[in-house]
Chain A
C-alpha cells in the first residue's frame, strides 16, 4: 500500500478548495494514511470474482418518462442565494486579471 505523501494531500486540499496550513498538513496527512490502510483491508477480502460496486442495490435501468414537471419560481430558486441580480445568482469574481 503506497503512502499518501504530504504533497499529495496538499494537492487534494487545493482541489477541494480547503486551505491547509503546514501544521494542519503535518497533522492530517498521517491520518489519511490510516484511513487508506483500513480501506485496503477490504481489498484483501475481495477477489477477482467480485466486481467493484458503486451502488448498494443490484438494479439497473431506473428511468423516468420524458415529462415536464413544475419548476420552482425564480423567487423560490433564489431565496437562499447570498446575492442575486436580475433574477440570477450573483457569484464572486471567478478569475483575476489576465
Chain B
C-alpha cells in the first residue's frame, strides 16, 4: 500500500472546510422480519430464522410488516420529516452473497420520509443537521470469511453465510451535506449519531445497540479549500460501529484528504473501512464494480400510502422532543449551565434521568456518572452507557452511602466490583469486606490507641485546637482501613476527651 501523508487536524482545518454526510442504519425491533414471519432475535444458531421468502427461493412472495411501516413513520415524524402520501419499494440489484435474492428490497426515489432536520448541540452551540430522507429496507445476511491471513474478505479461500439477519427491517436515515462545522465536524458527527440513538431509544423502535450492529453509521466526508463553495470528492467510510469511532473516522479522513490535496493529488471516490484498533481507514474495493444498482420498482409489493389520519395518530405517540426535555430536566435537577454541558457531552443525561427515577438525588447521580464513571469509561475507551454499571446499580450504591453502610470512597470499590462482575452491591461489600465500621467497639479501640500514641495532639484538642483532630482521625482511619464512619469517629473522639 502506498504511504499516506496524514496532515495534523489543526493544519488541515486551517486550509480546508469539511463537508460531511451521515447515513445511519437502524435495525428495528419488530418481532418478525420486514417481509416474512421469521423471528428477528439476535444471536440465534445459524440459519434457524430463515424461510423461503428471506432465502429468496423461487415463487416466495414478500408481504410488508405493518409494524415496520409504523416505526418508519414515527422515526420520520420525530426527525421533523414529511411523510410520503404514496411511496414504493424498489429492488437494489447487486451480486454479493449476503443477499440470496441478488437484490435488496429498499426504497429509491420515493422514500417514506423526507425533508426533516435535527438540532444537534455541541459545546453549547446548536447545529441544525438537515435530513434528506429516511427509507425502509431490509438487512443483509452475515458472512464469515475463511482462510487467508487476516480473516478479511481479501484473500479468503471461501465464505460462509448465515441468513438469520437477512430481511430484518432497517431504516436508513440520510443527512444532507453538513457544512460549516469546521473544527467541530468530528464532534458534530458524533453528537448527531448520539442524539439520533437517544431519539431511537425514546421511540422504542430499536434495541439501539451499536455494539450489536443495531445502529450502524456510514460517514461520508469531503474537503474543499477554505472559502470555496464547491464540494470536494468524498470518501464513504462504512459501518462505523461506536460513537467514538464516528468522531475518530471523521478526524482521520480530514487528515487523510488534506494529505492528498496538499500534494496536489485527487481524492478517490471510494468505500473505506474503519479499523477500531488503529483509528485509521483503508480502501475497500468490493463494491467498486457494482455501483450501478439498476433500481426498479418492486413488482411483488404494492405501494404504501399511509393515510393522513394514521400519520397524525402516530404523531400523537411521539415522545417528548429531546431538546425540550433537556431544558426541562436541567431546570428540574437544578444543574448549572456548566454542569449541564459536561453531562451532555458525556452522554450522561439519560443515565442520570434513569438513576434519579430509581430514587437518587440529581446531584448524587451526576457526581457518580460525570465524575467517577466517566473517567472509567474514558480509560476503557468505551461509551459511558457501556461502562458496565447500570443506573439501577448507581442508585443502589448511593442508597448504601445514604444508609452509612459505605462511604464515597468505599462506593468506588463497589463500582470496581460491579464492573468486574462480582455480583450485587451488597454481595461485593460482603465479599470485599467493605462495610463501614459504625460499631463503636472497634472504633473506640482505634481511638484509644491513637490518643495514647499522640498525647501531645490530644492535649491540643483539649485546649480547643479543633484543627488538630485531623491527626487523630487520620490514625483511626488508617487503623480501620478507611472503613470508619467519620462522623461517629469524631463524636467518639470528643467524648473520650471529655469535650
Q: How far, in whole Å, are A14 and B47 apart by their CA atoms in the complex?
A: 31
The smallest C-beta distance from A82 to any residue of chain B, in angstroms, reads 12
Given A63-B64, A88-B144 in contact, is the A55-B46 Cβ separation under 8 Å?
A: no
Given A61-B305, A64-B63 in contact, is the A95-B153 Cβ separation under 8 Å?
A: yes
Whether the Cβ atoms of A66 and B95 lie closer than 8 Å is no
Q: How far, in whole Å, are A70 and B50 apart by their CA atoms in the complex?
A: 9
Query: Which residues from A are CB-within-8-Å of B158?
Result: 90-93
The smallest C-beta distance from A78 to any residue of chain B, in angstroms, reads 6
Cβ contacts A52-63/B at 8 Å (1 or 0 each): 001101011111
Residue B361 is within 8 A (CB to CB) of chain A in the complex: no
Instruction: Please name the residue on chain A nearest to B67 by beta carbon.
Output: A66
Q: How far, in whole Å, are A60 and B304 apart by their CA atoms in the complex?
A: 6
Cβ contacts B273-306/A at 8 Å (1 or 0 each): 0000000000001100110101011110111111
Contact of B38 among A17, A64, A69 (CB under 8 A): A69
Given A60-B305, A68-B39 in contact, is the A88-B161 Cβ separation under 8 Å?
A: yes
Identify which of residues 68-95 in chain B touch chain A, using a CB-to-CB cut-off of 8 Å.
Answer: 68-69, 86, 88, 93, 95
Chain B positions near chain A (C-beta within 8 angstroms):
30-32, 36-39, 45-52, 55, 63-69, 86, 88, 93, 95-97, 100, 143-146, 153-163, 285-286, 289-290, 292, 294, 296-299, 301-306
Contact of B161 among A11, A64, A91 (CB under 8 A): A91
The smallest C-beta distance from A89 to any residue of chain B, in angstroms, reads 4
Whether the Cβ atoms of B32 and A66 lie closer than 8 Å is yes
Residue A65 is within 8 A (CB to CB) of chain B in the complex: yes
Given A54-B297, A62-B302, A93-B159 in contact, is the A74-B48 Cβ separation under 8 Å?
A: yes
Q: Which 3 A-B pairs have the closest CB atoms?
A: A69-B37, A54-B297, A66-B67
Query: Which residues from B are CB-within-8-Å of A96?
Result: 154-155
Count of A-B residue pairs with CB < 8 Å: 143
Identify which of residues 2-20 in chain A touch chain B, using a CB-to-CB cut-off of 8 Å.
Answer: 11, 14-15, 17
Q: How far, in whole Å, are A57 and B68 apart by their CA atoms in the complex?
A: 23
What are 20 A-to-B residue pairs whose CB atoms are below 8 Å?
Answer: A15-B290, A54-B298, A57-B302, A60-B303, A61-B306, A63-B66, A65-B66, A66-B66, A66-B67, A66-B68, A69-B38, A71-B50, A74-B47, A77-B55, A88-B144, A89-B162, A90-B158, A93-B157, A93-B159, A95-B286
The smallest C-beta distance from A56 to any residue of chain B, in angstroms, reads 9
Query: Which residues from B are CB-within-8-Å of A15?
Result: 93, 290, 292, 294
Q: How far, in whole Å, are A63 and B298 apart by their CA atoms in the complex?
A: 15
Q: How far, in whole Å, are A78 and B39 apart by their CA atoms in the complex?
A: 18
Contact of A88 among B31, B36, B162 (CB under 8 A): B162
The smallest C-beta distance from A13 to any residue of chain B, in angstroms, reads 12
Whether the Cβ atoms of B156 and A94 lie closer than 8 Å is yes
Q: How far, in whole Å, are A73 and B46 apart by their CA atoms in the complex?
A: 10
Whether the Cβ atoms of A59 and B302 lie closer than 8 Å is yes
Q: Classify the secondary structure of B's interface with A.
A: loop
Query: Which residues from A are CB-within-8-Å of B52?
Result: 72
Q: How far, in whole Å, are A74 and B30 apart by their CA atoms in the complex?
A: 22
Residue A22 is within 8 A (CB to CB) of chain B in the complex: no
Residue A42 is within 8 A (CB to CB) of chain B in the complex: no
Q: How far, in whole Å, are A69 and B228 apart by their CA atoms in the complex?
A: 56
Whether the Cβ atoms of B50 and A77 lie closer than 8 Å is yes
Q: How far, in whole Å, are A59 and B45 apart by their CA atoms in the complex?
A: 38
Query: Which residues from B are CB-within-8-Å of A91?
Result: 97, 143, 158-161
Query: Which residues from A are CB-within-8-Å of B286?
Result: 94-95
Whether the Cβ atoms of B160 and A71 lie closer than 8 Å is no
Residue A49 is within 8 A (CB to CB) of chain B in the complex: no
Instruction: Please name the residue on chain A nearest to B292 by beta carbon.
Output: A15
Instruction: Please name the residue on chain B nearest to A56 by beta carbon.
Output: B299
The smallest C-beta distance from B217 to any residue of chain A, in angstroms, reads 24
Among A57, A74, A94: residue with most chain B CB under 10 A: A94
Query: Which residues from A are CB-within-8-Å of B63?
Result: 62-64
Whether the Cβ atoms of B47 and A77 lie closer than 8 Å is yes
Q: How far, in whole Å, are A72 and B36 apart by their CA atoms in the complex?
A: 12
Q: How far, in whole Å, are A89 and B306 apart by their CA atoms in the complex?
A: 38
Residue A98 is within 8 A (CB to CB) of chain B in the complex: yes
The smallest C-beta distance from B213 to any residue of chain A, in angstroms, reads 18
Contact of B50 among A17, A62, A72, A97 (CB under 8 A): A72
Residue A85 is within 8 A (CB to CB) of chain B in the complex: yes
Residue A24 is within 8 A (CB to CB) of chain B in the complex: no
Q: How far, in whole Å, are A57 and B31 apart by their CA atoms in the complex?
A: 29
Contact of A71 among B51, B67, B159 (CB under 8 A): B51
Contact of B48 among A59, A71, A86, A92 (CB under 8 A): A71
Given A65-B66, A94-B153 in contact, is the A54-B31 Cβ separation under 8 Å?
A: no
